[in-house]
Structure 1
């Protein structure tokens, strides 16, 4: 069983669109079948400023190795920054690879179901659970304006993020996204909520 689920361990073919039945992969080229660990992925999403990066270290400490907590922004570089679709695909492949070690991934980053669900790599996961941390426009605007200059949060970019925050809250039921408002919540309260949400859905 290889770690990169797109590569056939028998013939070495690289498949862009995996053939998946349950937790078994089939090579399009040679027909070889092999099992893989098909675990749930936890996407802690929401607009910038709602608390995703803040809660990440708290979750990593609380779970103590039961899950792997990652911040998606670490790969927001180079060619991946220029092609959002490739960025999403790489993250799903990375998460699926980590799942082969037996621990589910909690991915903290700004994402919505329409960006993950249509991708071929979606087949590597039993479920993708989405929890959106959101906030009032006033609280998010204040938090983003207070960020250091190197993060480049000008007024136009802030308004775009506020639009995403509004859309996410209005579309949550339709998208199957759980929502938690962090406007008046402390770091610990937010971490409590996210931890409980994840633990209720662990295999």
Structure 2
């Protein structure tokens, strides 16, 4: 389902409205008043700089969380806007929020693996589609991150400029995680085995799932 289109009158809205209705929540049309049941579940953002292990850990989470969540990789909808300052990165973020909310209507919240920070999700109208967005940021020591990015295949395009930019983001995450709204939890992957990191992330997700 598309939470931006009313099932009653077919009108598109850029600002969805979710209301409490008895014991549950409903998606309410601002044009005709139509209401339909809507699962307002949490969204789990496994974030952090490129090279910290999000994609690799995400592959392991599919099995670890298969009974409760849907694990997806942000780069499935990769667009040039994330690299091109003239691109529309807002459309990319909002599309992911809409897609995650739509997937959640099947009864399982989404674990989204990709580089994102609270300011890139929390400010959009689609934020109302989720009960909470929880952020867990993978980080690692700068020298290790630099080595990991330099070792990536050439098609990924990790030149010195992009690497330094990502190192700056790594520093920002580590310095501001407790002050973002909501705060991000940090998990250092400098020396941790991938399977151990996946276990920690899985436990984090399960501890925050609705009962």
Contact 1:50 1:134 in 2 (8 A): yes
What secondary structure, in the 3-state scheme, does the structure 1 residue paired with 2:68 have? coil
Alignment deviations for residues 153-182 of structure 1 (CA, whole Å, 9 cap, x no partner): 000000000111100111111111000000
How far apart are the structure 2 equivalents of 1:156 and 1:80? 15
How far apart are the structure 1 equivalents of 2:119 and 2:172? 13
Alignment deviations for residues 49-99 of structure 1 (CA, whole Å, 9 cap, x no partner): 000001011000112242110110111136787311000000000000000
Count of matched residue pairs: 201
How far apart are the structure 2 equivalents of 1:79 and 1:100? 28
How far apart are the structure 2 equivalents of 1:79 and 1:50? 22
TM-score by length of 2: 0.92
Contact 2:79 2:92 in 1 (8 A): no
Q: Which residue of structure 1 lines up, in the alignment, with residue 160 of structure 2?
A: 155
What secondary structure, in the 3-state scheme, does the structure 2 residue paired with 1:131 have? strand
Structure 1: unaligned runs, 5 residues or longer:
none
1:35-184 → structure 2 map (5 Å cutoff): 35-77=37-79, 82-175=87-180, 176-184=183-191
How far apart are the structure 1 equivalents of 2:187 and 2:77? 26
- Residue among 16, 19, 31 paired with 1:18: 16
Over aligned residues, Cα RMSD in angstroms? 1.3
Structure (1 or 2) with the greater helix fraction? 1
Q: 1:21 offset after TM fit, Å?
A: 2.0
How far apart are the structure 2 equivalents of 1:80 and 1:26? 32
TM-score by length of 1: 0.96
Contact 1:55 1:191 in 2 (8 A): yes
**Distance verdict in 2 for CA 1:68–1:31, change over 3 Å:** same
What secondary structure, in the 3-state scheme, does the structure 2 residue paired with 1:29 have? coil
Q: Which runs of 4+ in 1 moved over 3 A?
A: 78-81
Alignment deviations for residues 121-167 of structure 1 (CA, whole Å, 9 cap, x no partner): 00000000000000110010000000000000000000000111100
What secondary structure, in the 3-state scheme, does the structure 2 residue paired with 1:198 have? helix
